[in-house]
Structures are given as structure tokens and as C-alpha cells.
Amino acid sequence: MIPVTHYLALAAILFVIGTCGVILQRNVLTMFMCIELMLNAVNLTFITFSRFLNQLDGQIFVLFVMTVAAAEAAVGLALIVILSRRADSLDVDQANTMKW
């Protein structure tokens, strides 16, 4: 029987890795993927507590998080397409002006 702490620790580690990626990476696409990674780590926590507390509500929340992640991916990738069209680069350090 695996203690619930192991699942939570794994989720925390994945979340921290995702955070490091968002801060370290310069490529907008990879940063965005790291955000998805963080969302996934949170999902793992939800499922673990759903199991631990013996209630299904956590799984419902995971479904909502996944839906929001899909919507976020659509809008975010649209923004990235605009950014690369305007700045001709995917480097976030290049995108340092408020207005073109």
C-alpha cells in the first residue's frame, strides 16, 4: 500500500520542475508546455485526495481543469502565433515592448 504522501511528494516535485521551466526557458512554446506540466501536477494532487478522502468530487475538478487547460492552450497558442508573426522570434526576452 503506497502512502498518500508519496503521491503528493511526486506532484510537488513535478510542480517545482514546471516552475523552474517557466522561469529558465526563453522559448515561449516550452514555457507554455511547462505551465501544462504544472497543471498536470495539480491534477495528480486532486486525484490523490479524491482517492484518499473517498469522494469523487476531486475527479470532477480534474475534468474542469483539463477543460480550462484546453481552452488556455487554444488562446495561448494563438497569442504565440501573433507574437512570432510580429517579433519574428519565439524568444520571450525579445518581447519587451508594450506596443508595436
Partner 1 sequence: MEYFVFYGLATVAVTAALVVVLMNRAIYSALALIVCFGAVAGLFFQLGAQFVAAVQIILYAGAIMVLFLFAIMLLDPQSEKLSPDRLKQVPFLALPCAAFLAFVLVQMTFQWSAGTSAPSVVQTSGSLQMDGNTESLARLLFRDYLLPFEITSILILSAVLGAVVLTRRPE
Give the HSE-up count for residue 79: Cα atoms under 13 Å, Cβ half-sphere.
11
Q: Binding of partner 1 at residue 51 (CB under 8 A)?
A: yes
Say which residue the cell 501536477 belongs to: 41
The torsion of the CA quartet 93, 71, 82, 91, rounded to 10 degrees, works out to: 20
Residue 97 C-beta: closest distance to partner 1, Å: 18
**DSSP-assigned letter for residue 88:** S
φ, ψ (nearest 5 deg) of residue 91? -80, 125
Instruction: Specify the residue, 90 or 95, whose C-beta has the smaller distance to partner 1.
Output: 90
Annotate each residue in 4-43 with x if it binds partner 1 (CB under 8 A) or - if it does not, as one string: xxxxxxx-xxx-xxxxxx-xxxxx-xx-xxx-xx--x--x
Judged by the rule CB under 8 A, the positions of this chain that interact with partner 1 are: 1-10, 12-14, 16-21, 23-27, 29-30, 32-34, 36-37, 40, 43-44, 47-48, 50-52, 54-57, 59-60, 62-64, 66-75, 77-82, 84, 90-91, 93
